[in-house]
Each structure stands twice: as structure tokens, then as C-alpha cells.
Amino acid sequence: MPIAMLNSYLTDFLFIPVVAHISLTTVRVLFKKGATYRYALLPLLVAASVTAGVMELALPKISADYVFDVGDIFAYFSGALFFYYVHQRHVY
């Protein structure tokens, strides 16, 4: 797999976990939820759906700079599942 292709899907895979990590940390600190507070799977899947809808469906219709790619959609949802099942369980 070429580096450019790996980089493209890797950034899409990491997008949801990075946003979720930052927002989870913010919620834990601002609302004093504590280190045991976790996101449910549904909000993460909604975030992946909205991201995929905007980046893969809406923006390609508005600008030629964006292209529909099923691999990107798979990467968004894979990142959400990675965050839910792996990452957030090992943070703090």
C-alpha cells in the first residue's frame, strides 16, 4: 500500500478518536464527570455518520476538491469503534 494511500485512510481513521478524546477529556474536566465516565457507542457512531455525511456526501457536491470514497467512510466508523472498544477503556 503506497504511503499516500495509507496516510489518507490513517487520517480519516484517527479523526473520530482524536475528536472524541478531546471532547471526552473536556467533559470529564468541565463537568467533573471523573475518570470513569465513558461515551456510549451510539454518540460515537452518530459522530462518524455526520462526519461521513459532510465529508463524503455533501462536500463533493459543493467542491471539486472533495471526492466520495467508501474507504474513508469505513475509516471513520472503524475509528469510532476503535475509540469505543480500545482507546477510551485505557485512558486514565
Determine contact, residues 17/79, Cβ cutoff 8 Å: yes
pLDDT at 1: 62
pTM (two decimals): 0.89
What is the tens place of the pLDDT at every residue in 29-80?
999 988 889 999 999 999 999 999 999 999 999 999 999 999 999 999 999 9
pLDDT at 4: 77
Predicted local distance difference test score (pLDDT) of residue 7: 79
Cell numbers found for residue 34: 471523573
By the 10 Å C-beta count (0-12 exposed, 13-18 middle, 19+ buried), 85 is classed as exposed
